[in-house]
Amino acid sequence: MSTLVESSPPAALVDAMGWIRRGWTQGAYCRNKANTAVLTTSNDIARVDLAWALWRAARDREVSEELLRRLVQEELPPAYQDCWGLERWNDKPGRTRTEIMLVLERTLSRL
């Protein structure tokens, strides 16, 4: 059985998926259990958006956040491949956590 290198993009994507599984949100990078937007450095984070999950995973795994964002954005339609594309795609009305997870899974399967 192979293991992911601790500081690899695939390991960081797995971590980001874990954050999204724990709780996903729209309209803010992070929310607490009361669904109130909180600072990205808060100890009270219960739900996160895709961009924050990638940022945190990149930081924790010492992987380039820009690289992770670019890898994920390659799975999105061209209209979402700019600097705020992940946030806009995440926050699109009707978007679901399932869609977020599918994009992360497709990204991971390419690596």
CA distance 97 to 34: 18
* pTM score, whole prediction: 0.91
Mean pLDDT by 10 residues, the chain (111 residues): 64 97 98 97 96 97 95 96 95 98 97 91
Q: Is residue 89 part of a domain?
A: yes
pLDDT tens per residue, range 58-83: 999 999 999 999 999 999 999 999 99
HSE-up of 5 (CA within 13 Å, CB side)?
6
Q: What is the dihedral of CA 48, 44, 31, 57, to 10 degrees?
A: -20
At 6 the pLDDT is 61
Residue 101 structural domain: 9-110
Q: Which amino acid is at 16?
A: A
CA 21 to mean position of chain CA atoms = 10
Q: How many domains does the chain have?
A: 1
Question: Does residue 3 fall inside a structural domain?
Answer: no
Which amino acid is residue 20, in one-letter code? I
